[in-house]
Amino acid sequence: MTSGSPEQLTYLSGPVLVIGTGLLGASAALGLRALGLSVGLRDASPTAQRVAVDLGAGVAVPPGAAFAPELVIVATPPDVAAAVVSGALREFPQATVIDIASVKASILRALLADEALGETELSRYVGAHPMAGRERSGPVAARGELFYSAPWIVVPHAGSSAAAVRVAKAAGADLGASVTQMDAEEHDRSVALISHFPQVASSLLASRLLDAPGAALALAGNGLRDTTRIAASDPALWIQILSHNAPAIVPILHGLREDLDRLIGTLEAPEAAGAALDLAQLLSEGNQGQARIPGKHGAPPQSFATVGVIVDDKPGQIARLLSDIGEAGINIEDLRMEHSAGYQVGLVEIQVIPGRRDELEGTLSALNWKVVQ
Ligand SMILES: NC(=O)c1ccc[n+]([C@@H]2O[C@H](COP(=O)([O-])OP(=O)(O)OC[C@H]3O[C@@H](n4cnc5c(N)ncnc54)[C@H](O)[C@@H]3O)[C@@H](O)[C@H]2O)c1
Ligand SMILES: O=C(O)C(=O)C[C@]1(C(=O)O)C=C[C@@H](O)C=C1
């Protein structure tokens, strides 16, 4: 639960039916199976469904099969989510039905306008959105641990029953997520800024590379990789997300355009009086914005110290390094590895709390690791 909330979460007892067994659906199914819950799977694509079954995410449940879920998780693309939720509310009269699409207000509007649904059915619907994903699609990319420690936003509507909200929260808690709650409008405004706008910015940035000479791209380091990872996301899904949430995204893009115009003006005359100050302001505003992003488990942002270690690109090296750090009793907060094209070594960057950096450097140097200052 969001920090500070005294609410005690209940847990699911199952069975759970997952409709849409792509990246998100198969990940949820795998996570719930790992807890021993009975999970049914259904997908419009027979292949996606078969792969999810083969992965051990659950058993196929075709329409009309005898299956009485406690919870139905709709993990289809946003365009069809409302229709699939509507069908599930009618097919499973005892179940809570949640959808985990990345937009919430448009789906809720479609359900409220659905003449096939009465108040009783709608009381069993609750929106949800796990803030966890990948730039890949399909069940092959699924991971049962995907939701661990990520926000799981529960989005009830005015008519959602307390029991359905409890089940929607329990699903997040069971998957190891950090459960929080907001209404659909606030949800859509929030994710426009922290998820949808970053996707657009990353795609726009990467699209500048289309005509880049191969020799320039060969020089790419982590700056470019970090800022373009999500540009590899599935266009078919993101067309839907961006169109559904356009009203919340457009004002942010207007703000970006103002900043870009100001930056272009400044860089067109970089020696002009005030230009350096203007750049300093822009970059320091970026520093301040970045520093506001919370750290692990929603904790306040924390700066870790980085220790770089050069390792030979041979089997067992990383395992030996991690075991040496473990034996020194030092907790690794984060870790990343960089390979240099053409070299048989890699650089492992280990993040630790700043107070332990000197100790870690000393320990690793004494054990003959090549520590980079
Ligand atoms: N990818 C992410 O990072 C991410 C993160 C959080 C939430 N989401 C949301 O989760 C949902 C699924 O995204 P994904 O990345 O898993 O996509 P995906 O393409 O990997 O999976 C979607 C699955 O839904 C199936 N499907 C489509 N129409 C269907 C229908 N009418 N009935 C049954 N199955 C149907 C597809 O065949 C596919 O297997 C989307 O609504 C997305 O907005 C995605
Ligand atoms: O990490 C990623 O690859 C994601 O794009 C995940 C991400 C995000 O954090 O913006 C993307 C869309 C979803 O609705 C939720 C999560």
Euclidean distance between CA atoms 281 and 262, whole angstroms? 11
Domains of the chain, CATH where assigned: 16-182 (3.40.50.720), 190-261 (1.10.3660.10), 305-372 (3.30.70.260)
Ligand 1 mean position, distance from CA 76 (Å): 4
Give the span between the Cα atoms of 316 and 338, in whole angstroms.
16
User: DSSP string spanning 13-78?
Assistant: -S-EEEE--SHHHHHHHHHHHHTT--EEEE-SSHHHHHHHHHTTS-EE--TT-S---SEEEE-S-H
User: Is the pLDDT higher at 304 or at 22?
Assistant: 22
For the Cβ of 230 lying below 6 angstroms from any atom of ligand 2, the answer is: yes
The CA R_g of the chain, rounded to the nearest whole Å, is: 24
Rounded to whole angstroms, the Cα distance separating 36 from 266 reads 60
Between CA 117 and CA 128 the distance in angstroms is 19
What b/e readout covers 246-259, taking b as 16+ CB neighbours within 10 angstroms? eebbeebeeeeeee
Structure tokens belonging to residue 74: 């709709």
Partner residues linked to 370 by β-bridges? 310
Instruction: List, in sequence order, every residue forming a beta bridge with 97; answer none if it has no partner.
Output: 72, 125
**Is there an atom of ligand 2 within 6 Å of 26 CB?**
no
* Phi (first) and psi of residue 148, to 5 degrees: -60, 125
ipTM score here? 0.98
Candidate of 102, 200, 252 to mutate for ligand 2, largest count of ligand atoms within 8 Å of Cβ:
102
User: Given pLDDT bands bounded at 50, 70 and 90, which one contains residue 6?
Assistant: very low
Dihedral sign for Cα 106, 111, 112, 114, please: positive
Rounded to the nearest whole angstrom, what is the distance from the C-alpha of residue 133 to the centroid of ligand 2? 5
To 5 degrees, how large is the angle CA 75–CA 55–CA 102?
Answer: 20
Decide if 349 contacts 357 (C-beta within 8 A). Answer: no
Give me the residues paired with residue 338 across strands. Answer: 347
**Quick one: pLDDT at residue 373?**
67
352 vs 276, which has greater pLDDT?
A: 276
Instruction: For residue 300, name the pLDDT band (cuts at 50, 70, 90).
Output: low
> In 182-320, which ranges are E strands?
305-312
- Cβ atoms 142, 55 nearer than 8 A: yes
Quick: pLDDT tens for 85-138. 999 999 999 999 999 999 999 999 999 999 999 999 999 999 999 999 988 899
Return the residue whose CA atom lies nearest to atom 10 of ligand 1: 101
Q: Which ligand has the shortest distance to the CA of 85?
A: 1
Q: How confident is the model at residue 10 (pLDDT cuts 50, 70, 90)?
A: low
Torsion sign across C-alpha atoms 325, 315, 369, 358: negative
Residue 303 pLDDT: 66
Give the mutation target among 190, 230, 239 for probing the ligand 2 site: most ligand atoms within 8 A of CB: 230
Backbone dihedral region of 298: left (phi > 0), alpha (psi from -120 to 50 degrees) or beta?
A: left
Exposure b/e, 320-338, CB count within 10 A at least 16 = b: ebeebbeeeebeebeeeee
Ligand 1 centroid distance, CA of 231 (Å): 18
Strand partners, 154: 128, 181
Average pLDDT, the chain: 92
Is residue 129 classed as helix, strand or coil in its secondary structure? strand
The pLDDT, as a whole number, for residue 8 is: 55
Do 142 and 18 contact (CB within 8 A), yes or no? no
Q: How far is the CA of 85 from the centre of ligand 1 (A)?
A: 13
- Average pLDDT on 304-308 reads 86
Question: Within 10 A of 65 (CB to CB), how many other CB atoms are there?
Answer: 11
Q: What percentage of the chain has pLDDT greater than the value 90?
A: 79
Please tell me the distance between residue 44's alpha carbon and the centre of ligand 2 in angstroms.
23
